[in-house]
Amino acid sequence: MFNKAILIGRLTADPELKTIPSGASVCTFRIACDRRFSGKDGERKADFITIVAWRQTAEFVSKFFTKGKLIGIEGSIQTRDYTDKEGNKRTAFEVVADNCFFVGSKAESGGGSGSYSAPHEDAAPAAPVAYASGDAGDFEEVETDSDLPF
């Protein structure tokens, strides 16, 4: 069996961080995910999906994400049955997040690390790659080696 959900969307409200009696952190929030197609009226639709994150992932989301921020989610779909206030039986569909990460530009995401794991403070930033102009003079012919097995 396989149950994997990968989503990118915008938070519809600030995430809510709570601590359950056992001491574990839990964060519940919703994201809006645009559909890939437009309706007959030409307007794009969105799906609103409930996400549940636990422990370090929950703390990461509550610390770095707010309403309107773009977020990436990796997790699994989970269902649960419950009875509402009027006594009707209901089923809730949620994505339980295994990993949450920034998506988009650094300015949009507000900086920080790329996912819930802390960055290494002693790591040097990668040097930007410089490319030449792309002229034919930028390339040189590679000599063939007859000892290659293919």
Report residue 39 as tokens: 């309706």
**Whether this model's pTM surpasses 0.75:** no
Do 16 and 10 touch, CB atoms closer than 8 A?
A: no
User: Phi and psi of 106, rounded to 5°?
Assistant: -65, -35
Instruction: Sketch the domain layout of the chain as residue ranges.
Output: 5-109
b/e for 59-87, b at 16 or more Cβ within 10 A? bbbbebbeeebbbbbbbeeeeeeeeeeee
CATH topology of domain 5-109: OB fold (Dihydrolipoamide Acetyltransferase, E2P) (2.40.50)
Query: What is the full per-residue pLDDT of the chain (150 aa) written as tens digits?
Result: 899 999 999 999 999 999 999 999 999 999 999 988 877 888 888 999 999 999 999 999 999 999 999 999 999 999 999 999 999 999 999 999 999 999 977 666 555 545 444 344 444 445 454 445 555 565 566 666 666 554
